[in-house]
Amino acid sequence: MTLPPNVRRRVLIVDDQPGNIHTLAEALRPEYDLFFATNGERALERAQAGGIDLVLLDVVMPGMDGYEVCRRLAIDAKTQAIPVLFITALGEVSDETRGFDVGGVDYITKPASPAVVRARVRTHIELKEARDRLELLASVDALTGIANRRRFDLAVEHEWRRALRGAHWLSLAIVDVDYFKGFNDQYGHGRGDECLRAVAQALAATCRRPADLVARYGGEEFALVLPETDPLGACDIARGCLDSVRALAIEHARSTCAPHVTVSVGMVSLRPSDPHGLTDALTQADRMLYEAKDQGRRSAVHLDLVAATKRSLTLPAAAPGGEA
């Protein structure tokens, strides 16, 4: 994700010669936070740890050379978006071509002018940020500002595989705004859009952990991906969703379950054991949503797929408005 303008970007300098590292550091330190590695293995470890915006990489190093480091960075999902600039004494066209072939974005021949290094680094960080902004826009719902369906599909697949590998809990939920058609009919689509934006932000505020995802699933439906969340934690979040939307106190005269906007929640928790079981889990969450609606809306139904137990959470009854 693109960093705010006031956050210094992080550059990893990889070279087996301390003198070369010192020279590059002197050129870049005024503008960037710098990290260093003197061999390929350490470079990979630091890049995979996250937070690196660009790598300056020597080619000739003992053990793993720069070409192999770049190749490994390019095939790892954690690091493949990091631009790699080769900076090396190898100046043949074939050397430069090989650098591009393994995934490098630029090739600087030593001895390099500090001004050239700064200019090339600045250019490639700006290009990376532009790509990050485009990717972010492609994954955000234009109306609500939260994740869109495309991002949800990618995230839930990723978290399913991760939970499968680590035998972790994973909780999934589908949230629906109660009687939303009636809300639009009563107040107009402009107010309906405002309502969806407010509900989206209330749900996002409830799911506060960095790994949690709240996405617009379609229409007035939202979806939650809650990694490493067990049934007890999932029920707490379901209750938080009900409470946070009710606390918005958005008038809803057409609701038959409350005088304000409420939501219904269908949720499942499980430890994935089947690589192809995600569709079934989402289907079960959808069924729990319909059970929540059948029991009067403004409620959540949670299914623990490991223990095969079900729990219902319902907001206190309130005086209903008019007909939906």
For residue 76, the domain's CATH number is: 3.40.50.2300
Joined together, the tokens standing for residue 217 give 């699933």
Tokens 């439906």 sit on residue: 221
Half-sphere exposure of 245 (CA within 13 A, CB side): 31
The alpha carbon of residue 212 and the mean position of all alpha carbons in its chain are separated, in whole angstroms, by: 8
Mark whether 237 and 268 lie in a shared domain. Answer: yes
Determine which one of 96, 159, 220, 221 is catalytic: 220
Question: Considering the domain boundaries, does residue 3 fall inside one?
Answer: no
Nearest to 264 by CA among 231, 238, 229: 238
Number of independent structural domains in the chain: 2
Instruction: pLDDT tens for the chain, 324 residues: list them.
Output: 455 556 789 999 999 999 999 999 999 999 999 999 999 999 999 999 999 999 999 999 999 999 999 999 999 988 999 999 999 888 788 888 999 999 999 999 888 899 999 999 999 999 999 888 887 778 999 999 999 999 999 999 999 999 999 999 999 999 999 999 999 999 999 999 999 999 999 999 999 898 999 999 999 999 999 999 999 999 999 999 999 999 999 999 999 999 999 999 999 999 999 999 999 999 999 999 999 999 999 999 999 999 999 999 998 765 444 333
Tokens 């029991």 sit on residue: 295
Joined together, the tokens standing for residue 63 give 């053990």
* CATH code (residue 301): 3.30.70.270
Question: What count of residues does the chain have?
Answer: 324
Question: Considering the domain boundaries, does residue 144 fall inside one?
Answer: no
Domain interval for residue 92: 10-138
Answer yes or no: 220 catalytic. Answer: yes
Residue 29: partners with Cβ closer than 8 Å, 6 or more residues away: none
Neighbours of 299 (CB within 10 A): 23
Question: Considering the domain boundaries, does residue 33 fall inside one?
Answer: yes
